[in-house]
C-alpha cells in the first residue's frame, strides 16, 4: 500500500496544527518542514536532523521508536535548523537582558538610596538561589561528556 503523503501533510499542517498557527509565515514554515520530513525517506533511513537518521521501521516497535528518539536525538542546537553555531548567542543575550531588566524593575529600580526600611524580596530570593547553586562546572569535563 502506498502512503498518502499529501493527505498526511494536509492533516498535520492545516487541520491538526495549522488551525493553531495564525501567522502566514509561521504556517508556511510548518508546511515546509512537513514537505521536507513527511515523505518516503522516513522509511528509508533518511536524515531527519544532522546526525539523526530515521530508523528502520521493520525492526522497531512503538516503544523501540521512543527509546531510539530519547537516546539518539542530538541536543537542540542552531546547526540542526541550518543556522550558524553562534546564532543562539543573540537570542540568549536578549533573554538574559530581559530577565535582568525584569529583576531590576521588580526590585524598585537601579539607583537611589537605602530608603523604605523594608526587606527586598528580589534580593532575598536571589541570595537563596545563589546559596543553593551547585559547584561551578568544569567545562573541559562537560565537553568531554557531550
pLDDT one digit per residue (tens) for the chain, 146 residues: 789 999 999 998 888 876 788 888 988 888 898 998 889 998 888 888 878 888 888 888 999 989 988 898 888 888 887 788 888 888 889 999 999 888 888 776 655 555 555 567 778 888 888 889 888 878 788 788 77
Cα 55 to chain center, whole Å? 22
d(CA 52, CA 74): 7
Model-wide pTM > 0.75:
no
Closest CA to 44 of 34, 54, 52, 36: 54
**Rounded Cα–Cα distance for residues 71 and 55 (Å):** 12
CA 98 to each of CA 21, 29, 95, 109, 130: distance values in angstroms, whole numbers, following the listed order = 26, 27, 5, 14, 20
Amino acid at each position: 500500500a502506498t502512503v498518502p503523503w499529501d493527505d498526511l501533510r494536509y492533516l498535520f499542517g492545516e487541520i491538526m496544527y495549522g488551525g493553531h498557527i495564525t501567522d502566514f509565515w509561521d504556517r508556511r514554515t510548518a508546511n515546509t518542514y512537513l514537505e521536507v520530513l513527511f515523505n518516503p525517506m522516513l522509511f528509508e533511513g533518511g536524515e531527519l536532523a544532522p546526525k539523526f537518521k530515521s530508523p528502520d521501521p521493520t525492526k522497531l516497535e512503538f516503544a523501540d521508536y521512543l527509546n531510539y528518539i530519547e537516546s539518539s536525538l542530538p541536543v537542540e542546537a542552531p546547526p540542526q535548523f541550518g543556522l550558524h553555531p553562534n546564532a543562539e548567542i543573540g537570542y540568549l543575550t536578549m533573554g538574559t537582558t530581559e530577565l535582568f531588566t525584569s529583576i531590576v524593575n521588580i526590585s524598585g529600580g537601579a539607583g537611589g538610596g537605602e530608603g523604605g526600611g523594608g526587606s527586598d524580596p528580589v534580593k532575598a530570593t536571589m541570595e537563596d538561589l545563589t546559596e543553593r547553586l551547585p559547584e561551578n562546572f568544569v567545562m573541559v569535563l562537560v565537553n568531554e561528556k557531550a
